[in-house]
């Protein structure tokens, strides 16, 4: 995407940079969105229906074109982190060395085990990713991203969450991914799932070549809320009629914007917050947890757990 006025942290506050990141993500999302009649799951991604709960009005409301749904990506729609899977694909194509892949793996393991996103780890991951793509053409990374989706991501989509997205599409509503992953990667995933489009972190590019800088900051936490707010204004949406889905307490700002917030595979802090505010919960990670909320369980997270354990073991050996 072309540069939109890169501003360094010293020149703008964190809040202002969140707004800039959100507006950039909303602009990129609208440019890459599928036409409404193409936003439907394809035959190979058809999802099972979600069981309805009794004594509740039908939701989503069919024909409500001022409503939309916003889905976090990592561990909400897909098992694991999209950026990590993308990194694996780039490593396979010799974009960087093994030590950088190991660092990506450890950052992912830390996030899953600690349940918090350490600022130093996030900064390191961001800088590593930007240095890797600097000087490459956007079109090149998009083409590679299509291959990486098939190799590492397609089999990690939660069927239950995909079914929730399909319910909104069937009701005639737009469905957007909202993620800190690069907007190009997020757009590929959204298109493959038949969703409308994606809001993601926007890396600056000039004449179709990445500069190694971001527009604003990563689309994370408050920046996600700003992106949803900006897109709602542009699309004429009523946020009180919209839904949002996430696994992380970091997305409480986004979830709090809408009238229908859902905690999906929630971390401990989000689960507590959701219960306190009577938000609806869905958990697809284990049969026991899924049964508790009356929803069919999706495939487990064995692959992610195995990768996390391996990363932790590697870290301990290196200490």
List active site positions: 72, 74
Angle in degrees, CA 49, 53, 59, rounded to 5:
70
* Residue (of 60, 64, 86) closest to 73 by Cα position: 86
Q: Round to whole Å and give the CA distance between 115 and 112.
A: 5
Are 72 and 179 contacting, i.e. CB atoms less than 8 angstroms apart? yes
DSSP 3-state assignment of 63?
Answer: coil
Please give the structure tokens belonging to residue 66.
């001022």
DSSP state of 54: T
Which 3 state secondary structure label does DSSP give 262? Answer: strand
What is the rounded CA–CA span in Å between residue 76 and residue 244?
Answer: 11
Helix (H, G, I), strand (E, B) or coil at 102: helix
Residues pairing with 69 in the sheet: 175, 243
Phi, psi of 205 (to 5 degrees): -140, 150
């Amino acid at each position: 995407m072309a540069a939109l006025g890169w501003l360094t942290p010293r020149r703008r506050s964190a809040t202002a940079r969140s707004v800039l990141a959100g507006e950039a993500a909303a602009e990129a999302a609208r440019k890459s969105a599928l036409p409404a009649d193409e936003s439907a799951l394809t035959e190979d991604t058809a999802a099972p229906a979600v069981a309805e709960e009794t004594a509740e009005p039908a939701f989503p409301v069919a024909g409500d074109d001022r409503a939309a749904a916003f889905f976090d990506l990592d561990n909400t729609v897909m098992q694991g982190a999209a950026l990590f899977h993308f990194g694996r694909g780039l490593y396979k194509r010799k974009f960087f060395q093994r030590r950088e892949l190991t660092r990506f793996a450890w950052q992912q393991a830390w996030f899953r085990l600690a349940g918090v996103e350490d600022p130093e780890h996030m900064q390191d991951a961001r800088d590593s990713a930007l240095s890797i793509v600097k000087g490459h053409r956007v079109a090149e990374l998009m083409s590679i991203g299509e291959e990486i989706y098939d190799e590492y991501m397609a089999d990690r989509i939660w069927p239950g969450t995909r079914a929730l997205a399909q319910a909104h599409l069937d009701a005639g509503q737009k469905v957007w991914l909202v993620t800190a992953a690069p907007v190009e990667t997020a757009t590929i995933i959204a298109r493959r799932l038949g969703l409308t489009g994606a809001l993601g972190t926007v890396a600056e590019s000039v004449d179709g070549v990445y500069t190694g800088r971001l527009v604003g900051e990563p689309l994370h936490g408050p920046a996600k809320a700003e992106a949803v707010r900006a897109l709602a204004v542009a699309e004429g949406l009523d946020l009180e009629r919209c839904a949002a889905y996430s696994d992380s307490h970091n997305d409480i700002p986004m979830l709090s914007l809408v009238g229908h917030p859902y905690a999906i595979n929630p971390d401990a802090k989000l689960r507590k917050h959701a219960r306190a505010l009577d938000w609806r919960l869905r958990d697809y990670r284990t049969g026991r947890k899924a049964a508790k909320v009356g929803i069919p369980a999706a495939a487990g997270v064995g692959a992610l757990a195995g990768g996390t354990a391996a990363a932790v073991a590697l870290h301990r050996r290196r200490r």
